[in-house]
A = this chain, B = another copy of it.
């Protein structure tokens, strides 16, 4: 999971790039980077929050009216700046790129690039791989008379070559900004437009909340296989490239996207309430109704409110959250490790005492947090604890950029719901039924492979094993 932003402006773009990235900070807190163009490229990439990476001086250094930015979520061990984004090359054009997603045929593409084009790609930078593949296509054209049609042809060739999930924005030096998505449109990317006295300006962002903040009106999404090019004069050119079935990541609705964003025309907060209401029936089926419904703040909130609105139990805030923890700062002993959930969450006295409590989380992946929450709530006096997951059981790893650990770590991968319930120590465990979720998103066309195992890109078991192994090794993520 990462966040990307590209701005086609008419004045200095650096400050807006930095502030815009800050609104996407929830999509990645491990690294941030930006590149701008004013005839030359200017780059700044660093580890940490946007506010840690960028300082006042970068407003001045990152000169130019066009720019790209990236916030990165890195799996353990892959914090090398070598893998950070944006990436850029100076040939055949000056090209810079940011992308969100994950390539599933990395080694194959890399080998082909190396064999045919003598390009040197590091072993773990997806963005560089996509950029070089696109650049290799671009070289085949006559660069002096490159037409829009040529450009979109290069996008299609890239879409044919690269498998997996990728929503990318490419800055073509002196030419414009080009955005495109993989054939299934797995990751979100939205085009925004705003009027200025000097004429319209454009931005591509992972989420509409970023556009809102910067004052751009969301115009359209970069859907499955789509390409949109803003040329040097500010003209918009659209092209439908290679297209497969729509498979928008349903986990964006469940967890990743911010509640105020609009994805595929739907407000995320409302979607979460809808999913919460859909939980009423399986909760009812799970036995004695709960006395109170509480959320795991902040991600469980809308589900819990939705659930409460559809059943008789009231919603109450039962856990207080520490908003100022920062990064983990000391190597805790085992005893301290056991307290780590509590450092973030603490029961509010009296809310759960003596009651049958339904506690709603967005999903259960490894089960560690759930087990600790159940124990905390019991210690706070809860008579019974029912764990409610707004998502169906997570059973399969995600090869499209979501860090869901390997299969061995996913608690529901090889165990029944009842076994999971016993492992986390709850009195009840309610999952969103997969069918309910699918019913809610039938018209959107979503990828639910982490629940169903049905990978839209037709990944076979062997490929999956290979991806897991690679993930282990390189910690690749976009």
Q: Please report A residues at the B interface, Cβ cutoff 8 Å.
A: 15, 18-19, 22-23, 25-26, 29, 39-43, 49-52, 54-56, 58-59, 61, 80, 82, 89-94, 117-123, 128, 132, 135, 143, 173, 209, 212-213, 258-260, 262, 267, 269-270, 298, 301-302, 305, 317, 319-333, 336, 339, 342-343, 346-351
Which residues of chain B come closer than 8 Å to A92, judged between CB atoms? 117-119
Pull 22 A–B residue pairs with CB atoms less than 8 Å apart, ordered by A: A19-B330, A19-B339, A22-B322, A22-B324, A22-B326, A23-B343, A25-B326, A39-B123, A42-B82, A49-B324, A50-B326, A51-B325, A54-B330, A55-B330, A56-B331, A91-B119, A93-B120, A118-B143, A209-B346, A212-B342, A258-B322, A262-B349
- Minimal beta-carbon separation of A346 from chain B (angstroms): 5
Q: Which of A22, A89, A321 has the most CB of B within 10 A?
A: A22
Distance, CA A336 to CA B270, complexed state (A): 29
Q: Which of A19, A49, A143, A333 has the most CB of B within 10 A?
A: A19
Partner of A55, one of B15, B209, B213, B329: B329
- Minimal beta-carbon separation of A274 from chain B (angstroms): 12
Q: Is the CB of A323 within 8 A of B298?
A: yes
Distance, CA A117 to CA B41, complexed state (A): 17
Partner of A342, one of B80, B82, B213, B348: B213
Other CB < 8 Å A-B pairs besides A54-B329, A91-B91, 8 of them? A15-B332, A40-B123, A50-B326, A56-B331, A90-B120, A92-B117, A213-B342, A298-B321
Q: Is the CB of A43 within 8 A of B323?
A: no
Which residues of chain B come closer than 8 Å to A319, judged between CB atoms? 260
Q: Is the CB of B117 within 8 A of A324?
A: no
Q: Is the CB of B123 within 8 A of A26?
A: no
Q: Is the CB of B302 within 8 A of A317?
A: yes
Q: Is the CB of B51 within 8 A of A327?
A: yes
Q: Is the CB of B122 within 8 A of A40?
A: yes
Distance, CA A325 to CA B302, complexed state (A): 22
- Minimal beta-carbon separation of A74 from chain B (angstroms): 15
Distance, CA A118 to CA B95, complexed state (A): 11
Distance, CA A262 to CA B43, complexed state (A): 40
Which residues of chain B come closer than 8 Å to A50, judged between CB atoms? 326, 329
Q: Which of A119, A120, A320 has the most CB of B within 10 A?
A: A120
- Given contact pairs A91-B91, A329-B54, A348-B260, A41 touches B320 in the complex (Cβ within 8 A): no
- Minimal beta-carbon separation of A318 from chain B (angstroms): 9
Q: Which of A52, A61, A94 has the most CB of B within 10 A?
A: A94
- Minimal beta-carbon separation of A430 from chain B (angstroms): 23
Distance, CA A343 to CA B327, complexed state (A): 21
Partner of A330, one of B59, B61, B326: B59
Q: Is the CB of B91 within 8 A of A132?
A: yes
Distance, CA A209 to CA B51, complexed state (A): 29
Partner of A25, one of B82, B325, B332: B325
Partner of A118, one of B19, B91, B128: B91
Which residues of chain B come closer than 8 Å to A122, judged between CB atoms? 40-41
Distance, CA A427 to CA B298, complexed state (A): 30
Q: Is the CB of A22 within 8 A of B343?
A: yes
Which residues of chain B come closer than 8 Å to A132, judged between CB atoms? 90-91
- Given contact pairs A51-B329, A329-B55, A269 touches B119 in the complex (Cβ within 8 A): no
Which residues of chain B come closer than 8 Å to A56, judged between CB atoms? 330-331
Q: Is the CB of A260 within 8 A of B347?
A: yes
Which residues of chain B come closer than 8 Å to A58, judged between CB atoms? 330
Q: Is the CB of B260 within 8 A of A320?
A: yes
For A333, the closest partner residue in chain B by CB is B15
Q: Is the CB of B269 within 8 A of A351?
A: yes
- Minimal beta-carbon separation of A329 from chain B (angstroms): 4
Which residues of chain B come closer than 8 Å to A322, judged between CB atoms? 22-23, 25-26, 258
Distance, CA A89 to CA B150, complexed state (A): 25
Which residues of chain B come closer than 8 Å to A331, judged between CB atoms? 56, 59
Which residues of chain B come closer than 8 Å to A39, judged between CB atoms? 123
